[in-house]
Each structure stands twice: as structure tokens, then as C-alpha cells.
């Protein structure tokens, strides 16, 4: 299994008559963190949505382990963990119920470790509290606890640290570090500087955009 996990060639995306990126090409190897940088509105979220397969509004080629991504969509979904702009947490369900459903949805999540994961993100004691009475940060923590359950090799994280306190961020960075050490890859956007991880490569979208 040599070669990059994810390879992007000549990616072009236009939104509302504005070119977000053009001729964008990069690859993500196992054990690598790729940080997508750029000003607000530069297309970071759009790029992550394209990479994860949610958005089809692009031109160019994306390869997963050497194969065109559309041919290996099932395999790709199995090996992907996507943390989106919206946390995907149901306000009327408790954190535990939310996670149980995700475990049914995604085979790479380990249902037997749900309570352990909730403890890791500091939600112990909140298992039975409906999420609408949790704070914004706790809300996102519920969704982030999927990272503790997942053994998917590729993580795509869109602003994972928003509304998370300093200690939480440190814990998540450590978690990302462990994931990298296991041979996983992470593509993420964040406005914070990642600390303590050496293998971070940045891709700046500001230089990509045309007019």
C-alpha cells in the first residue's frame, strides 16, 4: 500500500461566479496532517465537502488509494470520518443516544466504547441529559467523541476546535497525534495553530482563488 491515500489533481470549483480554487492539486499520505488555510469565504468548507464526497460541484480528479473516488465510493465511506460544519447532534436526544445511532450508521465506530468516549470528552454525568440543555461547546464535544470511537484511517475535520475550551483542544490535538502515529491521516481546517505536531502541511487557499 504505497502511494498517497488521497490524491487530488487539477481541482476547480466555482461558486456564484467566483472561482474558489483552480488547478488545485495535492496528496495526503498516511501519517500526515494537512491543514487547509484561508480567509473566511475562501472555500475551506467547500473543499472539505468536495473531498468527502458530499458536494459534486467541482471539476478535476480525486483518487482514493490510486483509484478514482467514484469507483470506490463504498470503500472510501467505510474509511472516512467526516466532522462537518454542523455537528450533526440531535438536540432532543441524549449524547449517548446520538452516539449509538452513529455507531449503527458507521461500522468503523465501536459501539461498546460509547460511555468511555463520552468520559474522554468530559461529558461524564451528561449521558442522560438531552443535548438541548448542553452548552455549544458540549454540543460539539458530543460529535467530536466520535473521534475516540473511530478506527477510520482518514479524518476530515471542519473547524473541530470551534467553541472548545483550551484543555479540550489540547486533548483533541493529542488524539490527532495518536491517530497520525497509527498511520492515519487528517485533513482539517482551523484558525488556530496546531501545536506539538510536526507533520503538519498547510495548503493555503488564498493564493488559489482568482477573481
Partner 1 sequence: MADLLTNAAAEQAQIGPGGLFMATLRRDLMLSLRRKSELVNPLIFFLMVITLFPLGVSPEPGFLAQLAPGALWVAALLATLLSMDGLFRTDFDDGSLEQLLLSPQPLFIVVLAKVLAHWMLSGLALTLVAPVIAVMLFLPAEGMPGLMLSLLIGTPTLSLVGAIGAALTVGLKRGGVLISLLVLPLYIPVLIFGTSAVQAAVTGLPLGGYLALLGALLALGLALAPLAIGAALRISVSG
- Site residues (CB under 8 A) for partner 1? 52-57, 74, 77-78, 80, 82, 84-93, 97, 100-107, 110-112, 130
Nearer to partner 1 by Cβ, of 140 and 194: the residue is 140
Nearest approach, Cβ of 88 to partner 1 (angstroms)?
Answer: 4
Nearer to partner 1 by Cβ, of 95 and 194: the residue is 95
Nearest approach, Cβ of 196 to partner 1 (angstroms)?
Answer: 29
DSSP H or E stretch at residue 12: strand 6-15
Cα gap 209→189, rounded to integer Å:
17
DSSP string, 166-178: HHHHHHHHHHHHH
Nearer to partner 1 by Cβ, of 88 and 122: the residue is 88
Cα gap 144→160, rounded to integer Å:
7
Helix (H, G, I), strand (E, B) or coil at 126: coil
Nearer to partner 1 by Cβ, of 156 and 171: the residue is 156
Instruction: Output the furthest CA–CA distance in the chain (Å, rounded).
Output: 51
Nearest approach, Cβ of 69 to partner 1 (angstroms)?
Answer: 13
Query: Residue 150 has what DSSP assignment?
Result: B
Nearest approach, Cβ of 61 to partner 1 (angstroms)?
Answer: 18
What does the chain come to in residues?
A: 211
Amino acid at each position: 500500500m504505497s502511494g498517497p491515500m488521497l490524491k487530488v489533481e487539477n481541482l476547480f470549483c466555482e461558486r456564484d461566479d467566483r472561482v474558489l480554487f483552480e488547478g488545485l492539486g495535492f496528496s495526503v499520505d498516511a501519517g500526515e496532517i494537512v491543514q487547509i488555510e484561508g480567509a473566511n469565504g475562501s472555500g475551506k468548507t467547500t473543499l472539505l465537502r468536495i473531498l468527502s464526497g458530499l458536494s459534486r460541484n467541482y471539476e478535476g480528479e480525486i483518487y482514493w488509494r490510486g483509484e478514482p473516488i467514484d469507483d470506490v465510493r463504498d470503500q472510501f465511506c467505510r474509511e472516512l470520518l467526516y466532522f462537518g460544519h454542523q455537528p450533526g447532534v440531535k438536540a432532543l436526544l441524549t449524547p449517548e443516544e446520538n452516539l449509538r445511532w452513529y455507531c449503527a450508521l458507521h461500522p468503523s465506530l465501536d459501539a461498546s466504547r460509547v460511555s468511555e468516549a463520552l468520559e474522554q470528552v468530559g461529558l461524564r454525568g451528561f449521558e442522560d441529559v438531552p443535548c438541548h440543555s448542553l452548552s455549544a461547546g458540549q454540543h460539539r464535544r458530543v460529535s467530536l467523541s466520535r473521534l475516540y470511537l473511530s478506527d477510520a484511517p482518514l479524518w476530515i475535520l471542519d473547524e473541530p476546535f470551534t467553541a472548545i475550551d483550551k484543555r479540550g483542544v489540547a486533548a483533541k490535538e493529542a488524539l490527532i497525534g495518536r491517530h497520525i502515529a497509527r498511520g492515519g491521516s487528517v485533513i482539517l481546517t482551523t484558525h488556530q495553530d496546531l501545536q506539538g505536531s510536526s507533520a503538519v502541511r498547510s495548503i493555503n487557499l488564498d493564493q488559489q482563488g482568482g477573481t
